[in-house]
Amino acid sequence: MVGFKELPPNMQPTLGTKMISAGFAAMSADLVTFPLDTAKVRLQIQGSSLPSSASTGTAATATSSKILTSGHLVPSDHRMAPKHSKRREAQIAAKNFKYRGVIGTIKTISKEEGARALYNGLVPGLQRQMCFASVRIGLYDAVKDMYCERLSPQASTSNPPPVVRILAGMTTGAMAVISAQPTDVVKVRMQADCPPQGQPRRYAGSNIAYKTIASQEGVRGLWKGSIPNIARNCIVNACELVTYDYTKTFILKKGLMTDNLPCHSVSAFITGFVTTCIASPVDVIKTRYMNAGKGTYSGLGDCTMKMYKEGGLPAFWKGFMPNFLRLSAWNICMFVCFEQFKRGFTLMMVDSTDNKPKNKPRPMT
Report residue 45's pLDDT band, with 50, 70 and 90 as the boundaries. Answer: confident
pLDDT of residue 222: 86
Question: Could you read off the pLDDT of 244-261 as tens digits, one per residue?
Answer: 989 998 999 999 998 888
- Report the share of the chain in percent with pLDDT over 90: 20
Average pLDDT in the 65-81 region?
43
Q: Please tell me the CATH superfamily of domain 15-349, with its number.
A: Mitochondrial carrier domain (1.50.40.10)
**pLDDT confidence of residue 94:** 54
Q: What pLDDT is recorded for position 337?
A: 93
Could you tell me the pLDDT band of residue 91, with boundaries at 50, 70 and 90?
A: low
Instruction: Please report, as a single letter, which amino acid is at residue 237.
Output: N
Task: For residue 68, name the pLDDT band (cuts at 50, 70, 90).
Answer: very low
- 179-210 pLDDT, tens digit per residue, is 888 888 888 888 777 777 777 777 878 888 88
Q: How far apart are CA 221 and CA 76, in angstroms?
A: 27
The DSSP H or E segment spanning 7 is none
State which of 32-36, 60-64, 154-158, 198-202 shows the largest mean pLDDT: 32-36
pLDDT higher than threshold 90 for residue 326: no
Where is pLDDT greater, at 130 or 298? Answer: 130
User: What average pLDDT does the chain have?
Assistant: 79
Output the pLDDT for position 263.
92
**What pLDDT is stored for residue 325 in this prediction?**
80
Of 83 and 20, more confident: 20
Q: Are the CB atoms for 168 and 147 separated by under 8 Å? A: yes
**Which pLDDT score, from 0 to 100, does residue 353 have?**
66
Which pLDDT score, from 0 to 100, does residue 26 have?
93
94: Cβ–Cβ under 8 A, 6 or more apart, which residues? 47, 311
For 83-87, what is the mean pLDDT?
Answer: 51
At residue 357, the pLDDT reads 57
Q: State pLDDT tens for residues 1-31.
A: 466 777 777 788 899 999 999 999 999 999 9
- If you average pLDDT over residues 92-119, what whole number do you get? 80
**Which position has the higher pLDDT, 101 or 157?**
101
Strand partners, 74: 67
Q: Which sequence spans correspond to the domains of the chain?
A: 15-349
Q: Is the pLDDT of residue 143 over 50?
A: yes
pLDDT tens by residue, 206-223: 888 889 888 888 888 888
Residue 186: Cβ within 10 Å count: 27
